[in-house]
Amino acid sequence: MLQLIYSPTSPYARKCRILVRELGLQGRVSEIADNPFDDTDTLLQANPLGRVPCLVLDDGRALTESAVIAAWLNEQAAAPWPSDWDDRRLEALGGGLLDLAVARRVEMVRDEAIYSAHWLGRRERGIARTLDALERECAVAIEPLSLGALTIALALDYLDFRYPESQWRTQGPRLEALHAAWFGRDSFIATAPPL
């Protein structure tokens, strides 16, 4: 059986966990919760990067990085989601938004002696620009069940979780509709990070 090593608060791992459920792969993938900051043997033997998610294949090789794992899971599905270069582009833009939000969170919890208002502001400006760009992207049809739409919805949900003062909803009614479409799905609910 495939093993997906994840952290309950990782939005990158959550993306893969949602896909396992959405693509009907629960019977092929077992999920193993781990804390990447603990440097456990389980995680480090599978992924020398010490990061989650990590998908250990039946032959012992491991896939790392959520976009790679997501693409692989999608290929394994009996009914894979449509994927083209436009969707990959949206997935990358949503992933970049997620990267900025995670980097902002890391900056917020750093020791005051090494805290950088410059980097915090830079990330917040990047988040705002990306939200504006994604709102414009939503003016055209985005495939609702796609890696791009899922990644964008996850990034928005992570903003709610770790940066609620972003008030992204006030800037983006189309993004809010995309998020709302995902927010009620069973897979989204089942993988929500603990409060």
pLDDT single digits (tens) 107-148? 999 888 898 999 999 999 999 999 999 999 887 777 889 999
Question: Which segments of the chain have a pLDDT < 70?
Answer: none
Give the pLDDT confidence score for residue 174 in this predicted structure: 94
Residue 72, classified by CB atoms within 10 Å of its CB into exposed (0-12), middle (13-18) or buried (19+), is middle
pTM of whole model > 0.85?
yes
Domains in the chain: boundaries: 2-76, 85-190
**What does the block give as tokens for 94?**
């949503």
What top-level class would CATH report for the domain 85-190? Answer: mainly alpha
Architecture of domain 2-76: 3-Layer(aba) Sandwich (3.40)
Give the pLDDT confidence score for residue 144 in this predicted structure: 86
**What does the block give as tokens for 93?**
């833009």
Please tell me the distance from the alpha carbon of residue 183 to that of residue 87, in angstroms, as a whole number. Answer: 20
